[in-house]
């Protein structure tokens, strides 16, 4: 019954976001400010799914210059958890097939996000070059998922190098963002406990080039892996404390 109510709430939310969201975006289509606006709306939906979402970002996060943001990519719950960490003037980079997803895909494109064809390596490389140009010319930052696919409870997957190519090419720092594991979140569970999203300190790309690109990716992955393990332990303690109280 709980799952049915949540699916109904999600369907209503999707229709409202599509109708009013797309209508709103048509006044200034592909404007990067929309990503921040709708990221917040999606993040608020976490309460509907019984998630106690805690967002940890620095006080100056909204006033920083340009960066490449990288985040762990777990499952569909990312829409309602890690999306809350999007900052102003940030666009995400996603696979081209997202544009064909009913309701969400059209809104995703209209809000100004970048779509790449991952099945075509030459096109994907060209898109990374476009990402670099966008950072240099338009003043936006970009958000990428370096795992390239959803981990689905398998921990942090190996990183692809596109995000790091973009950061080095645009000469901007990298900001890792980590969301605690959400593979245990269930539609039919009333209380899904705590989820923590934390923005880590910037990682400088100075001194890095093609010759040590993989090292940069590995260093960032290790940092995010350690943080993910720490957050999962913290969430486990918080959930246990909550269960003991109840």
Distance set, CA 25 to CA 22, 108, 125, 220 (Å) = 5, 10, 29, 34
Check residue 117 and report its DSSP letter. -
Determine the pLDDT at residue 237: 95
What is the distance between the alpha carbons of residues 227 and 240, in angstroms, rounded to a whole number?
20
In order of their start, the domains of the chain are 2-245 (3.40.1130)
Q: Is the model more confident about 106 or about 158?
A: 158
pLDDT digits (tens, 9 = 90+) for 95-129: 778 878 877 888 888 888 888 776 555 555 567 88
* Number of continuous H segments (helices) and E segments (strands) in the chain: 7, 7
Lowest-confidence segment of 14-23, 56-65, 114-123, 165-174 by average pLDDT: 114-123
SS3 85: helix
Q: Which of 95-99, 175-179, 189-193 has the lowest mean pLDDT?
A: 95-99
155 within 8 A of 183, measured Cβ to Cβ: no
Instruction: Report helix, strand or coil for 177.
Output: strand
CA distance 27 to 130: 25
pLDDT digits (tens, 9 = 90+) for 202-230: 999 999 998 999 999 999 999 999 999 99
């Amino acid at each position: 019954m709980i799952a049915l109510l949540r699916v109904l709430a999600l369907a209503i939310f999707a229709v409202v976001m599509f109708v009013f969201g797309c209508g709103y975006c048509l006044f200034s289509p592909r404007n990067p400010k929309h990503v921040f606006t709708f990221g917040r709306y999606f993040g608020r939906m976490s309460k509907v799914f019984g998630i106690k979402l805690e967002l940890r970002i620095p006080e100056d996060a909204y006033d920083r210059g340009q960066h490449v943001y990288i985040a762990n990519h777990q499952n569909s719950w990312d829409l309602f958890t890690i999306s809350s960490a999007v900052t102003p003037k940030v666009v995400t980079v996603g696979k081209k097939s997202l544009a064909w997803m009913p309701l969400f895909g059209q809104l995703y494109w209209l809000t100004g996000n970048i779509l790449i064809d991952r099945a075509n390596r030459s096109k994907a490389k060209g898109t990374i070059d476009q990402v670099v140009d966008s950072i240099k010319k338009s003043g936006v930052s970009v958000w990428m998922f370096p795992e390239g696919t959803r981990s689905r409870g398998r921990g942090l997957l190996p990183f692809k190098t596109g995000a790091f190519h973009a950061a080095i090419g645009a000469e901007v720092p990298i900001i890792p963002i980590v969301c605690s594991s959400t593979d245990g979140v269930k539609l039919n569970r009333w209380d899904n406990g705590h989820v923590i999203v934390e923005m880590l300190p910037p990682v400088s790309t100075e001194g890095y080039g093609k010759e040590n690109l993989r090292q940069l990716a590995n260093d960032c992955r290790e940092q995010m892996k350690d943080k993910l393990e720490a957050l999962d332990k913290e969430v486990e303690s918080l959930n246990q404390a909550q269960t003991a109280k109840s």
